[in-house]
């Protein structure tokens, strides 16, 4: 997984450099959504009984196909109808089959706070997220050095975007100042073995900042697991593959 993460972030830099020439930041600032108010994912999670952040993704590096023909507008409406607290939209095309247009389309048909889930490596992507309708962004502790994470989080705050900070190990918490996080996510996937272990996330709970909503990510497949995680101290869960395999209808 570590090798995959390095491969993805390297590719992201190439993509961003091309995009900067095609769509400069000043152009992104002219998008209608850039000046629109954002919705709070943090408050939506805290106000929800189970804090479900339902994810839209067509595939992943570990699964070549999850639901390649999924219609993001239908799924977004389905997630809102089922009572999700928020929606996560994968915008990475090469590895997840997503796009910024998916984010834009989801925004057009639902009122859920939207998380742009991607591998953020450059400030340009923060401007992009705001321009295409995101309310929050994901920052992955393992993907970048602390100084760069701080810079990206500061810019997100300036643009009124919330930050979901994802960690895999307890010591990664220190890579970003708590006041720059709005939610903290624990990925239950082991980066060395690629296996999912819910206990890994539960073991980290005592180390997480008490002031932040805590989100459990990966390997959540049923209602019983959600309830167990909430009872143990998580405020919410991020679920993608399980919902994407279901035949959801608005």
Domain presence at residue 107: yes
pLDDT at 245 over 60: no
| pLDDT tens string 213-232 | 999 998 898 889 999 999 99
Query: At which residue do the structure tokens 């002219």 appear?
Result: 30
The two most distant CA atoms of the chain are separated, in Å, by 49
| pLDDT tens string 10-59 | 999 999 999 999 999 999 999 999 999 999 999 999 999 999 999 998 76
Domain count, the chain: 1
> What is the average pLDDT across 161-185?
96
Residue 164's pLDDT is: 98
User: Is 106:56 a contact under the CB 8 Å cutoff?
Assistant: yes
pTM of the entire predicted model: 0.92
Domain that holds residue 207: 2-245
Quote the distance between the C-alpha of residue 24 and its chain's center. Answer: 24
Burial (CB < 10 A; 0-12, 13-18, 19+), residue 127, is: buried
Domain presence at residue 133: yes
Domain presence at residue 200: yes
Domain presence at residue 10: yes
**CA angle, 44 as apex, 5 and 125 as ends, to 5°?**
35
Domain presence at residue 58: yes
Q: How far apart are CA 145 and CA 120, in angstroms?
A: 12
Q: Where are the beta strands (DSSP E) in the chain?
A: 52-56, 86-90, 114-117, 136-140, 162-167, 183-187, 214-217, 236-239
| pLDDT tens string 139-151 | 999 999 999 999 9
User: Is 218:189 a contact under the CB 8 Å cutoff?
Assistant: yes
Domain presence at residue 250: no
Domain presence at residue 29: yes
β-partners of residue 217 are 187, 238
Q: What is the DSSP letter of 39?
A: P
CATH of the domain at 34: 3.20.20.70
Residue 248's pLDDT is: 45
Alpha helices in 99-183, H assignment, sequence order: 100-109, 123-131, 146-158
CA distances from 243 to 75, 86, 87, 149 (A): 9, 13, 12, 30
| pLDDT tens string 48-107 | 999 999 999 876 655 555 566 789 999 999 999 999 999 999 999 888 889 999 999 999
Band (192; pLDDT cuts 50, 70, 90):
low
Reduced to 3 states (helix: H, G, I; strand: E, B; else coil), residue 164 is strand
Residue 247's pLDDT is: 46
Band (249; pLDDT cuts 50, 70, 90):
very low
Q: How far apart are CA 195 and CA 189, in angstroms?
A: 6
Domain presence at residue 22: yes
């Amino acid at each position: 997984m570590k090798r995959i993460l390095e491969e993805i972030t390297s590719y992201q830099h190439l993509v961003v450099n091309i995009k900067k020439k095609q769509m400069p930041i000043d152009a992104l600032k002219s998008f209608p959504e850039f000046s629109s108010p954002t919705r709070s994912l943090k408050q939506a999670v805290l106000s929800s009984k189970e804090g479900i952040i339902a994810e839209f993704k067509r595939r992943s590096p570990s699964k070549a196909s999850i639901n390649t023909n999924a219609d993001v507008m239908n799924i977004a409406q389905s997630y809102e109808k089922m009572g999700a607290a928020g929606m996560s939209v994968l915008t990475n095309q090469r590895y997840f089959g997503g796009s910024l247009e998916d984010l834009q389309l989801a925004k057009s048909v639902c009122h859920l706070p939207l998380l742009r889930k991607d591998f953020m490596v450059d400030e340009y992507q923060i401007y992009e997220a705001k321009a295409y309708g995101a309310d929050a962004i994901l920052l992955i502790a393992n993907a970048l050095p602390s100084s760069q994470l701080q810079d990206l989080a500061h810019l997100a705050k300036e643009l009124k975007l919330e930050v979901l900070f994802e960690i895999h190990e307890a010591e990664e918490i220190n890579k970003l100042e708590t006041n720059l996080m709005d939610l903290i996510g624990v990925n239950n996937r082991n980066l060395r073995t690629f296996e999912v272990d819910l206990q890994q996330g539960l073991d980290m709970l005592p180390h997480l900042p008490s002031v932040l909503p805590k989100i459990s990510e990966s390997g959540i497949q049923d209602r019983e697991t959600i309830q167990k995680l909430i009872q143990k101290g998580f405020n919410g869960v991020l679920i993608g593959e399980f919902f994407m395999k279901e035949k959801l209808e608005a």
